[in-house]
Structure formats: C-alpha cells, structure tokens
C-alpha cells in the first residue's frame, strides 16, 4: 500500500486528512469512472441498472449518474492541466500507481506540485 504522506509544515496547500484521502481516491478511481461514464452514455435505458427513483425515469437516472461522475473527472482533468507539463505524468503515476518520480528534479518540487494538484482537485469539488 502506498504511503499517503502530505507535508504539513510550510505547506499552503495542506488539506485535512479526510479530504486529502477522498481526493486521492477520486484521482485513483479516475480511469474506472471515465470507462463507466462512457458505458452509461452508450447503454439504452432498458439496459441501465442504476438507481431507481420513484418516478421511474431511466433517462434522468442516467443523467444524474453521468453528471456526478463528470464533475469528479472534470475536476481531475482541469487540475492536471494546471500542473506544469514536465511533472504531470510523474505526479499522476506516483498517485495512481505509487511509482517513484523518475525525472531529474528535486523531491521537494514533486511534493509541492503533488500537494498543489490535490488541493486544486479539492477546490474544484468544493471540499474546501
């Protein structure tokens, strides 16, 4: 299991532990959410087995599910675009796959951008 460390001292992007963990798991679940979002879009209402509401409107159920998932995936997408290009893949791989940073840069630089990335996702999702 990866170590989910967040620098606390001199970190303007510090998040409360529970918020930080929520954001990490949303980032780690990104690929599955994107695939499920595409699958829900391409299923017919009779094939969709999502939550049933009292009105029995399968189209509305699909719309709600897509809106919820797209809010999270859009938050991750927009935050990742705001990270400098040379750090994006390394930070993504570190969060999702626990891979070490493989490009020559200071460890503190990666920690700064990782914290900034998580903070931007939390802001976009209105967790802070």
CA distance 70 to 113: 24
**Per-residue pLDDT at 76 exceeds 50:** yes
**Per-residue pLDDT at 55 exceeds 70:** no
What is the arithmetic mean of pLDDT over 66-90?
94
pLDDT on residue 1: 43
* CB-count burial class (<10 Å; 0-12, 13-18, 19+) for 103: exposed
Rg from Cα positions in the chain: 17
Flag whether the pTM goes above 0.85: no
The CA angle 18-36-120, to the nearest 5 degrees, is 35
pLDDT on residue 28: 95
- Per-domain boundaries in the chain: 17-124
What is the arithmetic mean of pLDDT over 77-105?
90
What angle, rounded to 10 degrees, do the helices at 85-97 and 17-28 form?
A: 100
Split at pLDDT 50, 70, 90, the class of 48 is low
């Amino acid at each position: 299991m990866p170590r989910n460390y967040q620098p606390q001292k001199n970190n303007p992007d510090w998040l409360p532990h529970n918020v930080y963990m929520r954001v990490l798991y949303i980032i780690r679940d990104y690929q599955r959410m994107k695939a499920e979002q595409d699958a829900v879009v391409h299923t017919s209402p009779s094939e969709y087995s999502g939550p049933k509401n009292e009105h029995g409107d399968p189209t509305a159920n699909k719309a709600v599910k897509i809106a919820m998932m797209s809010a999270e995936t859009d938050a991750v997408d927009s935050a990742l675009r705001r990270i400098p290009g040379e750090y994006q893949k390394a930070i993504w791989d570190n969060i999702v796959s626990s891979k070490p940073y493989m490009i020559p840069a200071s460890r503190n630089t990666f920690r700064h951008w990782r914290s900034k990335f998580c903070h931007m996702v939390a802001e976009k999702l209105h967790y802070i």
